[in-house]
Amino acid sequence: MIRLLLLVLPAYFANAVPVLLGGGKQIDLGRKFLDGRPILGKSKTIRGFIAGTFTGLLIGELLYLLKYVGIVFFPFPFQYALLGLLLGFGAMLGDSIGSFIKRRIGYGSGDQVLLIDEMLFIAASMALAYPLLKVSTVTLLPLEIIILLAITWVLHKLFNFLANRYKIKNVPW
């Protein structure tokens, strides 16, 4: 299980970084969708999306260093960078899809919606990385995926609570 958590680390970091490095222009440029609501909302920024994706790439590269302690996922170094890029971009994409869904059902930016906030980033990440993982030494069993989702939910809640407590985020979710 530790190996699986290490594998998805780029998605976790990518999901967290926009809180610290985001801001600036909104991805949707403040435009409204057909329903008159924002497309994504003010908290989804270009800088945050790029920072999250790039962080995923960097953490993916750092995973390559795990080979020195005997944890190997891929035979080629570039595959680690690709994994990080896919997981980082997937986290940002999943988070943006979640915001789009939340706006459509009437929730505002920063409002909490159970499972959308905690799960879409990891689901999109894993979906994008799946083809690469098929050629890796990682076998994803259904039970492991369920455990990974449960751990992700707990970690997401914990780190958002801490970020709020230390005034990094405005809301504890």
Residue 148 inside a domain? The answer is: no
Q: What is the pTM of this model?
A: 0.93
Residue-wise pLDDT for 104-160, tens only, equals 999 988 888 989 989 999 999 999 999 999 888 788 888 998 999 999 999 999 999
Specify if 77 maps to a domain. Answer: yes
Candidates 53, 52, 51, 32; CA nearest to 41 is 32
The SS3 assignment for 138 reads coil
Planar angle of CA 46, 78, 65, nearest 5 degrees: 95
Tell me how crowded residue 7 is: count the other CB atoms within 10 A of its CB: 23
Domain limits for position 56: 2-138
Neighbours of 45 (CB within 10 A): 20
Is 143 inside a domain boundary? no
pLDDT digits (tens, 9 = 90+) for 22-49: 999 999 999 999 999 999 999 999 999 9
- Please check whether residue 165 lies inside any domain of the structure: no
Classify residue 145: in a domain, yes or no.
no
Contact, 126 vs 156, CB < 8 A? no
Look at residue 157 and tell me if it is in a domain.
no
| Domain-located, residue 163 | no
Categorize the per-residue pLDDT at 171 as very low, low, confident or very high, splitting at 50, 70 and 90.
Answer: confident
Domain count, the chain: 1
Does residue 37 form part of some domain?
Answer: yes
